[in-house]
Amino acid sequence: MNNDDRTNFNTVQEHEIFGDRDFPSWLTQQQISLACTTYQTSRLMLIGAVPETNRISAFWRIFDRAMGLFCTPERLYLSSKYQLWQLDNVLESGKLYQGYDKLYIPRIGYTTGDIDIHDIAVDKNNQILFISTLFNCIATLSDRHSCKPLWKPGFISQYINEDRCHLNGLAMVEGEAKYVTASSQSDVVDGWRDRRKNGGIVIDIESNDIIVTGLSMPHSPRWYRDKLWLLNSGRGELGYVDLDTGKFEAITFCPGYVRGLAFWQNWAIVGLSKPRGGDNTFSGLELDELLLTKDAEARCGMMVIDLTNGAIVHWLRFEGIVTELYDVQVIPQVQKPMALGFQTDEIAQLITLEL
């Protein structure tokens, strides 16, 4: 690949991250930034643009086993190994800090224990909802316990700390939890691993009906423009559900294990992961055969997909130690974001006042 075919923006000993030549200008034109997580290397990564040089801005902080994300311009919610973090922007509109237009600081940490939080959302009553994959349920925060379970699939016989069906994804409709994805209908511990190829399902939370079957490790259900979209991860597919027929309609194949889905205008932003070495969770799926058919290798990164025709119009790749992503979110009205972590003195020294 020639250097002028891509934009390098962060090349260090353990990282190389690059995108297509128009990716930075697209972010600038749309006035958005992207956030993503990787539990594999415990990072929250914030991707923006530097308009003056048409280069990409990248900023990352360490959060142990970073996974679920929910983002607004002023606040990020992030799940980690045993906590759920609320990070708040402390910059006033038009102000910069070290050239960044948003500065997110972890203000509140809820200690949940290792309940394996996956997708996060905030409902119309500002209640934080999340999937506890360990307990096979939707839950919310508790002021004295690890969490408060709110709902579980009908085939799960009890709230118990056994990942049975691998419940993982949560879709909100008009501020209420509406759909979830799971890798199987198993009611025994770790039973979902035996159903990775075609045991995946979508459940309507209100009715508790299983409305789609036959998926391969589905993730990231999202309601957008009156459609239920999701990622059929084991086949590398982005698509939507025909709610009348219960069929999944794929619109794009992506070269990787797809996980993490967000929308902006007429585009979907999809996260991709490479196969996990030494772990057969991602191996033995149809994705392997599809990649061979297309003479392609799995990659880690993001793809921007035109919803009109399924074309991949922009892409970003991660090389080096980052090989998996979990969640992807759009941060609107933000050009170049950064965050503070816990491994430098900056978080102790940066003090702001509410006057």
Residues in Cβ contact with 226 at an 8 Å cutoff, skipping those fewer than 6 apart: none
Three-state SS for 220? strand
| Residue 246, number of CB atoms within 10 A of its CB | 14
**Each residue of 79-116: pLDDT tens digit?**
999 999 999 999 999 999 999 999 999 999 999 999 99
What band does 181 get if pLDDT is binned at 50, 70 and 90? very high
What gap in Å lies between CA 196 and CA 190, rounded to an integer? Answer: 11
In this structure, are residues 141 and 109 in contact, taking their beta carbons and an 8 Å threshold?
no
Give percent of the chain above pLDDT 70: 95
Helix, strand, coil percent values for the chain (each to nearest 5): 10, 50, 45
What pTM was computed for the model? 0.93
Distances (CA, A) of 49 to 8, 261, 323: 12, 20, 22
**Each residue of 297-344: pLDDT tens digit?**
999 999 999 999 999 999 999 999 999 999 999 999 999 999 998 888
Q: How high is the pLDDT of residue 14?
A: 64
In this structure, are residues 170 and 157 in contact, taking their beta carbons and an 8 Å threshold?
no
pLDDT at 17 over 50: yes
